[in-house]
Structure 1
């Protein structure tokens, strides 16, 4: 790896300061927060402003906000993102940690479509494939995605008289029961499926958000019942949340934390 260039590092440190707070900073603010010499900060800010990475705040002399150039770069980055490809990479990382099957899925109508999948190396594991479609109400990813819909949209997709097909004896088939389950999922920010799509498998899922904060996918970890336990559920939930957060970050989302 080549040597880091101090001036470039400092310029990027300045730009990253604008990710927090009210989005405006003065040169003294930057000096104080980065502990850099005033002359260095003045030169860097002047250069960044000349290249439209920073612009003066109207009516507030000496204060700056982000300019158009970071937005253009971010937009270009967003254009080349591939949810399936990014999801596959994150799913692989999660699967390497827990050695269970990991999926990333999107919602289409009342079904989920798996767009990424990494298998467990165990002899006993969930059998599925990227591209497979399943009823959303029977899966953890599907329930997570349904729970993320606005109430009006959820009602349109799953009306009170909807016929919900059962995949196993544990599948939810009553729209009212489904809505109650989705309310709990919405509150927790996590979905759990206990043998609802496969009598031998349980799953946990967490939401994946894009740069606007909208839920665009869900990441799940599927575990055969022979390796499922109450003690392990918490560990898998935390891992699913971390994986979904990593994928969200790759898509440009910044968490409130």
Structure 2
């Protein structure tokens, strides 16, 4: 294991304090980090001189994040590729679970798969990168639809509309779908039991960008005969961990 450089770690600890605070004074930083006052002042001066912090007021004893971080963040964001980052996250979850993992985005009432890592087991899946499926039939779709307001939902799914059924278990009406989305919002997880494939169940978790907006969903797809081979909460945990990893890669929290 490589050795961390204490001074660099302390400087990063200071910067990370500003994730939840618009501005901080030197005494507050000393108190929160438990570092010597002289050390904190030296680090603050260095960070401010390099543009990572900005001094406030005539005395310059209070600080906020500097423009250099905005420049670095912009450079990072401009290089983000959801498909690439999604593939990395999906592969990591698949390696742990040995099951198929998808990342998808919503386009109207459909989901578009942008990344996929196949299970190590032999099983036929209905999905493929670039393929679209009805959002209401999939766990990723339900997760993404849960971000809609009631007004947005009613525009997309007018009352009385009959929904496409991929299996006998698929939801058939907007009322059924809205009720299912209430559960998704409460759990921050979406489940689908044989609604897009008679032999497969799925769980999906939300992927967010740096603004907190849900931009994608990551799901685990498991044949029903293996779904009970591990505790159900384990599938949920793997989906959450994968979605959180992808969220961090996209600059979210």
Q: Please give the TM-score of this superposition, normalised by the length of structure 2.
A: 0.92
CA-CA distance at 1:138 after TM superposition: 0.5
- 1:112 paired residue number: 111
Gaps of 5+ in 2: none
CA-CA distance at 1:2 after TM superposition: 7.3
Over 3 Å counting, the alpha-carbon distance change for 1:4 and 1:224 in structure 2 is closer
Cα separation, 2, equivalents of 1:139 and 1:2: 43
Matches within 5 A, 1:204-215: 204-215=203-214
Matched, 1:182 2:181: yes
Over 3 Å counting, the alpha-carbon distance change for 1:149 and 1:60 in structure 2 is farther
CA-CA distance at 1:164 after TM superposition: 0.9
| Cα deviations by residue, 1:58-90 (Å, 9 ceiling, x for unpaired) | 488621111221122112111111011001000
Over 3 Å counting, the alpha-carbon distance change for 1:228 and 1:7 in structure 2 is closer
| Cα deviations by residue, 1:167-218 (Å, 9 ceiling, x for unpaired) | 1111111111111111111111111101100011111111111100010100
Q: Secondary structure at the match of 1:172?
A: coil
2:143–2:190: 8 Å Cα contact kept in structure 1?
Answer: yes
Cα separation, 2, equivalents of 1:150 and 1:75: 30
Over 3 Å counting, the alpha-carbon distance change for 1:15 and 1:123 in structure 2 is same
- 2:15 paired residue number: 15
CA-CA distance at 1:230 after TM superposition: 8.7
Cα separation, 1, equivalents of 2:75 and 2:185: 32
1:100–1:221: 8 Å Cα contact kept in structure 2?
Answer: yes
Q: Secondary structure at the match of 2:247?
A: helix
Q: Secondary structure at the match of 1:152?
A: helix
Matches within 5 A, 1:211-226: 211-226=210-225
Over 3 Å counting, the alpha-carbon distance change for 1:60 and 1:241 in structure 2 is farther
Matched, 1:47 2:64: no
1:126–1:223: 8 Å Cα contact kept in structure 2?
Answer: no
1:195–1:201: 8 Å Cα contact kept in structure 2?
Answer: yes
2:126–2:197: 8 Å Cα contact kept in structure 1?
Answer: no
1:125–1:223: 8 Å Cα contact kept in structure 2?
Answer: no
Over 3 Å counting, the alpha-carbon distance change for 1:37 and 1:154 in structure 2 is same
1:106–1:145: 8 Å Cα contact kept in structure 2?
Answer: yes
Cα separation, 1, equivalents of 2:3 and 2:238: 35
1:195–1:202: 8 Å Cα contact kept in structure 2?
Answer: yes
1:126–1:224: 8 Å Cα contact kept in structure 2?
Answer: no
Please give the root-mean-square deviation of Cα atoms over the aligned residues, in Å.
2.0
CA-CA distance at 1:3 after TM superposition: 6.2
Q: Please give the TM-score of this superposition, normalised by the length of structure 1.
A: 0.91
